[in-house]
Structure 1
Amino acid sequence: MSTETTKVLPTEQQQVLIELLKLRFEKNKKRHENLDWNSIEKKLQEQPEKLWSLNEMENTGGEPDVVGFDDNTSEYLFVDCSPETPKGRRSICYDLEGLNSRKEHKPAHNAIDMATAMGIHLLTEEQYRNLQQLGDFDTKTSSWIVTPTAIRKLGGALFADFRYNTVFVYHNGAGSYYAVRGFRGLLRV
């Protein structure tokens, strides 16, 4: 991941990413009916730091796409739409406290700090359930989701997946990690 001082992509790389996002947008119209690409592209060009975050999502296997528009904030919502949890964000604990609680076999990173470094947020349970209305995601993997403070204070963390045509939300210790568990991110533009 890049440092704070390099959170703007070179112009040529911005254009390549915008073209990729446009193709994905056009290929998956069901995810964003009634939204106009030209309006989205204009907002992206006005906020190059958001393109940097989208590039981080793309580089870690997230396949970000627009899944909605927030009328209250006038922001487009980009979410990782890869069929399975992004490959470049797997085998991680929930947060730094969970990571530090491990005595041995520590993973390389944690979901909360990775998301923060990328400029994105983990999905809430509601956002995760909404994503599942647009397709079948995490049928073989699982994704950490935002955990309520009361659960986190007791050492737990939540994750979700999609099995048997149903979204399941589970708990685990925040320090746990598995090869098939990562996280999906949300970026507001």
Structure 2
Amino acid sequence: MHYIEAGSDTPIIRELTHHIDEGQCTLRWLWPAGIQAVYIHKTVDGLPLDRPSGAELKLYTRDEYKANNGYHDRIEGIGRLVYTVYACLLQEDGQTLLIQPNGENRIALSTGRARIYYSIRYKGGWFKKFKAAQIQVTTEVPLPADVLCYVKKQGVYPVSQDDGTVYPFVESFAPGRNVLPEIEIGKDDYIRLFFTDRQQYGQLYELIPE
């Protein structure tokens, strides 16, 4: 698929909106003059691509849009969705899709907050300098590694991401129970899990200690 960046005089998608009702998402937008078709890209629980391959795109014509009063997509499960609508230009060498730097052709939405349960088990004797901590994470959806972090603090449990030493996770979490390898910490250390970005991920997930 061939892409070009939209310019000041290029027809672009405007006022992209969404509506969710009974498991169906409806997208609507203003069609620019001269554009008879668009390609739609959908990302589930991931980052959108600027130049997706043809196999990842869905063709949708202006006539279909008029007949259906928008674009309709069935939603299954919960998580974060990102839709990108690319205006399609017909040129001598084929179809060209427009990348809009202003982002007006892209919309992100949440279909409900997925629940993430976690627990931490400690093992160690009273007279040892260190103890073992094992983290277990149970999630309803696939979870990228950078969504969560764990914070360690001496003496008491940390109360926020900034209240102690922050450690990132290096592997993603699969749906279901994930039992992580034991880690060695000081006998007076305590651990809690937090979102790496509460404002961003708190809208998508609910973090629940067990």
Shared topology, TM-score over 0.5? no
Q: TM-score, normalised by structure 2?
A: 0.23
Answer with 1 or 2: which has the greater Rg.
2
Q: TM-score, normalised by structure 1?
A: 0.25
Q: Which has the larger helix fraction? A: 1
